[in-house]
Amino acid sequence: MKMDNFWKVTKFTVAQQVKGKAFKVSTTIILIAVLILTSLINFIPAILGKNDDSKKTANDGKEIGIETAYYMDDSDLKVDLEAGLKVAFPNLNLEKATESRGAILEKLKTSEDKMVLVSISNESVGYYVEVITPTSDTVSSEDGQILAETISSILNNSRLINAGVSQEELGKLSTPINTQVFTAGDEDDTLEDMIVKMVFPMVACMLLFYIIYFYGYWVASSIVAEKTSRVMELLLTSTKPMELVVGKCVGMGFLAITQFASILLTAYISFVGSGAIVKKFIDTSANIFDISAVLGKIPVLQVILIILFFILGYVLYAVINALVGATISKLEDLNTAIMPVSFISIIGFYLAYAAIMSPDSVIAKIATYVPFSAPFYIPSMILSETVGIVQMGVSLLILIATIVVLTLFTARVYSVVILHTGNRLKIKDLFTIFGNEK
Amino acid sequence: MALKVNNLVKSYGDKLVVDNLSFSIEEPGVFGLLGTNGAGKTTTIRMMLGMLKKDNGTVTWNESTYNSNKVSTGYLAEERGIYSKFTVLDQLIYFGELKGMTRKEALKSIDFWLERLEATEYKNKRAEQLSKGNQQKIQFIAALISNPEVLILDEPLSGLDPVNTDLFKEVIKEEISRGKYIIMSSHQMSTIEEFCENLVILNKGKTVLSGNLKDIKKSYGRNHLILKCDGDVKELLENSNLKILNENQDYIELSVNSEDEATSLLKEILIRDIQVIRFELREPTLHEIFIEKVGE
C-alpha cells in the first residue's frame, strides 16, 4: 500500500465530506443540541433553586402571600406566636380572632383579601395547627403550608424551651440530620465520581454508537457511490483497492474524532459558560456543574485507553461497512445490505448497556470479550476502574485480531468484486467468486 | 518503447472470456481493439491495467512488467465515471494528485485542458450540472491530465455531437503527434479506420484478426465492385453468378473474386452497348471485414 495515495484518498474523503450538506447539517444540529442540553444542566437547577430559595427566605423574614392571619389558640401551649411570626414574616399582620370560628369561616368563603384563619388546638392524639385559606385563590395552599409549618416549628421550639432546653441547645437541635446510603467501596465517592462512573460511560456508549452508525454508513455509501458512478474504474488506474478502502475509513474516522472532539469541547464551553451566566445573572450561590472538577477525576492513561477503544471500535465497524459497500453496486440496495451491520452494532450497544447496569453479570463478561460490544463496554469499565489489566488486554487482543482478519478479508473481497455491477453479492456469492478466481 | 500483451487468458468459472490474446504496440500511434459486445475488450483492458487478475499471460512495457501505477497511464472507461456532486476542479485535482502530480502541477494542467476542450466555464460547477457531452470532456481531461505515456480510450467518441467529436479527434491527433501509445476500443469503424494503423478483432474472447490495417485490407484485395450503368444489367449479373452485396437507386455493389472477374464483367457490359456511368473497384472497409469475421 502506497502511503502517499492513502493520504490523498483520506484528504479527499475528509474535504468532500465536510463540504457535504449531511455533515454540515448533522454537525450543526448535534452541537446546538449539546449546547442546549448541557447548559440546561446548570440553568434548570439554578432557576428551580431560586424559586425554592424565595419560599425558604419567606420563612426567614421576607415575603409570603398572606396579609392577615386571624388566630385562635385553644391549646395549653401559651406561646407568643406573634413574636415568633414577626421574625419569620415581618409583613404579616397577626390578629387574635375576636369572632367565632364559624363567622370567620363564612367570611373566608366570600373574602377576596389575602387572609387566613390559624387554629391551634389540643386533641387527644396531639396538637393541631390548621391554616384555613379563603375559598377564592387569593392565598395559595403553598403559602398556607409554609405558614402552618412555621407555626408548628415555633410551637415545637416553645415546648422545648418550656421543658428546660436552652437557646444554645435549641440551635444545635435544629441542625438538620442528613442521610445517605453508600455501597461498600464507594463510601468516598463524590458527585463528580458518580458522574464519571455512571453518566460518562452512558454518554460515551451513545456517542460511539452514533459515530459507528453514521460514519459507518457514510463509508459504505461513499464506496457504493464510487461504484455506481463508475469512478472506481478510473481511481483503480492509479490506486490500489486497499488504499481506497483504508483511506476512506481513516478519512471518515478523522472526521468522527473531530466531530467527537467538537462535541466534547462544546459541552465543556457550555458548562463553563452557562455556569458563569448562572452565577452572574441568576443566583450567585447556585451550585453549578463543575466540569473541570469532573474531568480532573479522569487520569490521562484512562483517557488514552478510552480513545484507543473508541478508534478500534470505529475501525471495526468501518471495515465491515466498507465490505458491505463493496458487495453492492446500487445505492438503493445500501439500506438493506447495511441492516445486518446495524443489528450487530445495536446488539453490541445493548449488551454494553446491560453490562453497565449489572457489571457482575454473565452479560458483562460476554460484553467484555465480544469484539462487537467491547468498544462500547470497556470504556465504562475503565472509567469506573473495574477492569483488570489482563481482562482489558485480552479484550484488546481479540478486538485487534478481529479487525486484522476482517481487513484482510475485505481486501480480498475488494480486489475481486470492486468492479462488480448488478445484484447485491451475498456471502455465498463471494466464496463462489473466490473459487473462480483460484 | 513497446507495449506488449502476451498470451493473456481470463475465465470466469467455465466461461473463457479472453483466450490467449497477444498483440504489441511497437511505435507511438493508435492501436485498435475491436470486437462485439462481450468479446472481451473491457476485460482485456482491465487486466492490462491490473484491475483484474490475469489467469495467464503477461503485459510488458519496455520489456518490464506493465503496471498502470508505475507507467503513466490515462484511461477513459467505456462506462464513464465522475463524481456528480463534486465540482469539476475538486475532482480533477484529486485525479491529478492520485497520478502523482502536485496540486500546482494539476492546476496548471487542468487549466490547459479545460481551455483546450472549451470547458473553462465549467471549472467550478458540480459535475451533475453539466451536459453529458461536457461531462465526457471532464472525463477525457481526467485521462489526459498527467500527460500519460499510454492512453487507453474505450469508446471515446460515443455520445458526442459532431462539433465535440471533431474536437476530441483533434486532441487525439495531437496526442499521437506527441508520441503517445494509444489503445482505442470503439464500435465506430470509421473512427478506427481514421486513427488506427494496427488492430486486433476479438470474437467471444478469441482473436479472429490482427495486424496492420493496410496489410489486412490489401490481403483482401480490391474485391468490391461498385457499378452504375445507364441500362439494365440485371440479367447479365444474374448469369454471371456474381454476389450482389447491396443494391440501391444509385448503384449496385458486387463482390468479385478478382480484378480479372470485374474486367470481364465490364467487357460484357460494353459489348451489350450499355453505357457505364460508374465502375469502381475498392478494398473492403473495416466494417465489412468486421462483419465478415465476427458475423452478424
Judge whether A183 lies within some domain.
no
Distance CA A6, CA A249 (A): 10
Which of A234, A416, A419, A429 to substitute to test the interface with B, most B CBs within 10 Å?
A234
Confidence class of residue B31 from pLDDT cuts 50, 70 and 90? very high
- A207-221: per-residue pLDDT in tens? 888 888 888 888 888
Distance CA A196, CA A118 (A): 50
Distance CA A3, CA A6 (A): 5
Which residue of B69, B77, B84 is in closest CB contact with A238?
Answer: B69
Count, residues in chain B: 296
Mean of the per-residue pLDDT values for chain A?
83
Write down which residue in B186, B218, B250 finishes a domain: B218
Alpha-carbon gap: B72 to the closest alpha carbon of chain A (Å)? 9
The CATH number of residue B277's host domain is 3.30.70.1150
Cβ burial of A304 (10 Å; 0-12, 13-18, 19+) is exposed
Pull the grid cell for residue A25. Answer: 447539517
SS3 (DSSP) at A102: helix
Say if residue A107 is in the same domain as residue A73: yes
Cα–Cα distances (Å) from A64 to A47, A97, A145, A193, B115, in that order, read: 19, 20, 11, 39, 83
Cα–Cα distances (Å) from B120 to B110, B131, B134, B277, in that order, read: 9, 14, 11, 52
Put simply, whether B219 touches A (Cβ < 8 Å) is no
The CATH number of residue A96's host domain is 3.40.190
Split into its structural domains, chain B has a count of: 2
User: B95 and A238 in contact by Cβ < 8 A?
Assistant: yes
CA dihedral A316, A317, A323, A329 (to 10 degrees): -160
How many Cβ contacts (< 8 angstroms) between chains A and B? 73
Judge whether A125 lies within some domain.
yes
Say if residue B161 is in the same domain as residue B45: yes
Distance CA B30, CA B182 (A): 5
Say if residue B150 is in the same domain as residue B242: no
Q: Answer for the pair B149, B71: CB distance below 8 angstroms, yes or no.
A: yes
Say if residue A253 is in the same domain as residue A125: no
Cβ burial of B96 (10 Å; 0-12, 13-18, 19+) is buried
Count, residues in chain A: 438
Q: Answer for the pair B229, B277: CB distance below 8 angstroms, yes or no.
A: yes
- β-bridge partners, B211: B199
Chain B partners of A233 at a C-beta cutoff of 8 Å? 46, 51, 75, 77, 79, 81
| Lowest model confidence (mean pLDDT) among A56-60, A294-298, A422-426, B112-116 | A56-60
Distance between start and end Cα atoms, chain A? 23
Helix (H) or strand (E) holding A217: helix A200-228
Number of H helices, E strands in chain A: 17, 4
Find, in chain A, the residue whose alpha carbon is nearest to that of B10: A437
User: A239 and B69 in contact by Cβ < 8 A?
Assistant: yes
Put simply, whether A292 touches B (Cβ < 8 Å) is no
| Lowest model confidence (mean pLDDT) among A80-89, A402-411, B260-269 | A80-89
CB count within 10 Å of CB A310 equals: 23
Distance CA B220, CA B282 (A): 10
pLDDT over 90 at A329, yes or no: no
For the question of an ipTM over 0.95, the answer is: no
Say if residue A39 is in the same domain as residue A92: no
Say if residue B246 is in the same domain as residue B204: no
User: A229 and B86 in contact by Cβ < 8 A?
Assistant: no
Say if residue B203 is in the same domain as residue B240: no
Write down which residue in B218, B244, B264 finishes a domain: B218
Put simply, whether A436 touches B (Cβ < 8 Å) is yes
DSSP assigned state of A331: G
pLDDT over 80 at A55, yes or no: no
Distance CA A158, CA A255 (A): 69
Which of A5, A18, A237, A432 to substitute to test the interface with B, most B CBs within 10 Å?
A237
Chain A partners of B142 at a C-beta cutoff of 8 Å? 234
Confidence class of residue A181 from pLDDT cuts 50, 70 and 90? low
DSSP assigned state of A281: I
- A110-153: per-residue pLDDT in tens? 888 889 998 888 877 778 888 998 888 888 888 888 888 888 88
Put simply, whether B80 touches A (Cβ < 8 Å) is yes
Say if residue B129 is in the same domain as residue B168: yes
Distance CA B97, CA B63 (A): 27
Put simply, whether B54 touches A (Cβ < 8 Å) is no
Q: What's chain B look like in SS3?
A: CCEEEEEEEEEECCEEEEEEEEEEECCCEEEEEEECCCCCHHHHHHHHCCCCCCCEEEEEECCEECCCCCCCEEEECCCCCCCCCCEHHHHHHHHHHHCCCCHHHHHHHHHHHHHHCCCHHHCCCEHHHCCHHHHHHHHHHHHHCCCCCEEEEECCCCCCCHHHHHHHHHHHHHHHHCCCEEEEECCCHHHHHHHEEEEEEEECCEEEEEEEHHHHHHHHCCCEEEEEEECCCHHHHHHHCCEEEEECCCCEEEECCCHHHHHHHHHHHHHCCCEEEEEEEECCCHHHHHHHHHCC
User: For residue B266, which phi and psi values (nearest 5 degrees)?
Assistant: -60, -40
Alpha-carbon gap: B136 to the closest alpha carbon of chain A (Å)? 13
User: B94 and A12 in contact by Cβ < 8 A?
Assistant: yes
Helix (H) or strand (E) holding A119: strand A115-123
Write down which residue in A173, A198, A219 finishes a domain: A173
pLDDT over 60 at A418, yes or no: yes
Distance CA A24, CA A139 (A): 53
pLDDT over 70 at A290, yes or no: yes
Say if residue B151 is in the same domain as residue B261: no
Alpha-carbon gap: B140 to the closest alpha carbon of chain A (Å)? 11
Cα–Cα distances (Å) from A244 to A258, A320, B275, in that order, read: 21, 15, 71
- A70-79: per-residue pLDDT in tens? 888 888 777 7
Put simply, whether B53 touches A (Cβ < 8 Å) is yes
User: A436 and B95 in contact by Cβ < 8 A?
Assistant: no
pLDDT of residue B248: 86
Confidence class of residue A62 from pLDDT cuts 50, 70 and 90? low
Which of A221, A223, A233 to substitute to test the interface with B, most B CBs within 10 Å?
A233
Which residue of A2, A233, A239 is in closest CB contact with B79?
Answer: A233
Interior/surface letters A27-39, b for 16+ CB within 10 angstroms, e for the rest = beebbeebbeebb
Put simply, whether A339 touches B (Cβ < 8 Å) is no
Say if residue A38 is in the same domain as residue A73: no
Say if residue A252 is in the same domain as residue A339: yes
What is the span of the domain harbouring residue B90?
Answer: 3-218
Judge whether A425 lies within some domain.
yes
Judge whether A180 lies within some domain.
no
Which of B41, B69, B149 to substitute to test the interface with A, most A CBs within 10 Å?
B69
Say if residue A244 is in the same domain as residue A162: no
Say if residue A153 is in the same domain as residue A302: no
Distance CA A156, CA A268 (A): 48
Write down which residue in B218, B248, B279 finishes a domain: B218
Confidence class of residue A158 from pLDDT cuts 50, 70 and 90? confident
Say if residue A306 is in the same domain as residue A221: yes
Pull the grid cell for residue A192. Answer: 463528580
Find, in chain B, the residue whose alpha carbon is nearest to that of A18: B86
Pull the grid cell for residue B121. Answer: 466555464
Chain B partners of A238 at a C-beta cutoff of 8 Å? 68-69, 95, 98-100
Say if residue B205 is in the same domain as residue B225: no
Put simply, whether A12 touches B (Cβ < 8 Å) is yes
Put simply, whether A235 touches B (Cβ < 8 Å) is yes
The predicted model gives B282-288 an average pLDDT of 86
Cα–Cα distances (Å) from A434 to A148, A409, A414, A425, B256, in that order, read: 85, 11, 11, 12, 53
Which residue of A5, A233, A416 is in closest CB contact with B98?
Answer: A5
Chain B partners of A244 at a C-beta cutoff of 8 Å? none
Interior/surface letters B151-163, b for 16+ CB within 10 angstroms, e for the rest = bbbbbbbeebeee
pLDDT over 80 at B191, yes or no: yes
SS3 (DSSP) at A260: helix
Chain A partners of B98 at a C-beta cutoff of 8 Å? 5, 8-9, 235, 238-239
Split into its structural domains, chain A has a count of: 2
Q: Answer for the pair A39, A270: CB distance below 8 angstroms, yes or no.
A: yes
Put simply, whether A8 touches B (Cβ < 8 Å) is yes
**Of the ranges A96-105, B87-96, B282-291, which is most confident?**
B87-96
Give residue B139's identity as a one-letter amino acid code: Q
Q: Answer for the pair B137, B92: CB distance below 8 angstroms, yes or no.
A: no
pLDDT over 90 at B165, yes or no: yes
Cα–Cα distances (Å) from A41 to A97, A201, A420, B276, in that order, read: 48, 18, 52, 103
Which of B97, B150, B152 to substitute to test the interface with A, most A CBs within 10 Å?
B97
User: B46 and A232 in contact by Cβ < 8 A?
Assistant: no
Distance CA A150, CA A144 (A): 10
Give residue B266's identity as a one-letter amino acid code: L
Which residue of A9, A232, A416 is in closest CB contact with B81?
Answer: A232
The predicted model gives B26-30 an average pLDDT of 92
- B34-61: per-residue pLDDT in tens? 998 888 999 999 999 988 889 999 999 9
What is the span of the domain harbouring residue A297?
Answer: 3-50+189-437
